[in-house]
Amino acid sequence: MNARGWRITGGLAVALLIGGTVTAVQASASEPTRKKTKTAAATSFTDTFDSFNTSTWACEYTCPVIETGKARFRLKSGVAPDNYGSWSKARYKPARFTEGKFTVNFSLTERPKEKVWWGVALWDDDRGSDQFNEINFGYTTDQSFGNTQLRFESAKRGNDVSLKVDTGVDLYDGQYHSATLEYDAKHVSFSLDGKLLKTITDPQYIPTDAMDLILGPRLVTGGQPLSQGFTESVDSVEIAPVG
Ligand SMILES: [Ca+2]
């Protein structure tokens, strides 16, 4: 939980963290003044990855491994793209989204020189690959940005914008950072450690079709196998209403 989270305090927060999952109804119980809404009940969720729940998450190729309350999305050395071992992602199964606030506490190991994409994405290509919808933050590691920089991207039916963001922190030093993607029909924003870094407001780039939340990295198709492994770790994921 970060400062921009649900402001759950005291003993209840401890109990919820042990439980690993919180519903909007439980969150409201600690906050009598907070108005319960149907939307909140439908979309509020936290996973602290004390276990990996396959009724919540569908794996793309290799499932993450749980270690000390973190989901380790591991890419192995020597494995060609588009295989188990070079692609490890998890897709949230209970809902697709047309808005929301998605906060992921994550860390990365040393930056590969090969073509690894890491990050967090909302994604849909139901209308075909040229009509994709996407919101993401992350980076493809063989490109030219420095180790504090990443891309923040938004696409509506194939019409996309990609922004360079300098986070001011080394993203590849194994430290955890809390990244938030927040969006609705009027804006898409990216924050790191509670600091708003970029906002997109041009509606031509803001997706309105329902998208899936997807965590984890892959060796990009066409890339060379890794010379050493790479891990994107996720300590927690929170899904909450916008606002
Ligand atoms: Ca955790």
Locate 197 and state its tokens: 């870094």
Let me know: does 186 contact 201? Beta carbons within 8 Å: yes
Give the Å distance between the CA of 204 and the centre of ligand 1.
Answer: 36
Give the Å distance between the CA of 15 and the centre of ligand 1.
Answer: 14
Give the Å distance between the CA of 63 and the centre of ligand 1.
Answer: 16
Let me know: does 100 contact 43? Beta carbons within 8 Å: yes
User: Is residue 118 classed as helix, strand or coil in its secondary structure?
Assistant: strand
The Cα-based distances of 150 to 63, 78, 138, 160 in angstroms read 24, 25, 5, 16
Q: Is 67 exposed, middle or buried (0-12, 13-18, 19+ CB in 10 A)?
A: exposed
DSSP labels, 178-213: EEEEEEETTEEEEEETTEEEEEE--GGGS--S-BEE
Residue by residue, pLDDT tens for the chain (243 residues) are 333 333 333 333 333 333 444 433 333 333 334 333 333 444 699 999 999 999 999 999 999 999 999 999 999 999 999 999 999 999 999 999 999 999 999 999 999 999 999 999 999 999 999 999 999 999 999 999 999 999 999 999 999 999 999 999 999 999 999 999 999 999 999 999 999 999 999 999 999 999 999 999 999 999 999 999 999 999 999 999 998
Give the Å distance between the CA of 177 and the centre of ligand 1.
Answer: 13
Give the Å distance between the CA of 1 and the centre of ligand 1.
Answer: 10
Domains in the chain, CATH or no CATH each: 39-240 (2.60.120.200)
Give the Å distance between the CA of 206 and the centre of ligand 1.
Answer: 31
Pairwise CA distance, residues 233 & 133, whole Å? 25
Give the Å distance between the CA of 69 and the centre of ligand 1.
Answer: 4
Let me know: does 148 contact 167? Beta carbons within 8 Å: yes
Neighbouring residues of 13: CB distance < 8 A, sequence distance ≥ 6: 1, 30
Let me know: does 14 contact 22? Beta carbons within 8 Å: no
Residue in this structure with the two tokens 């890419």, named with its chain if needed: 75
Give the Å distance between the CA of 186 and the centre of ligand 1.
Answer: 32
Give the Å distance between the CA of 242 and the centre of ligand 1.
Answer: 23
pTM for this model (two decimals): 0.83
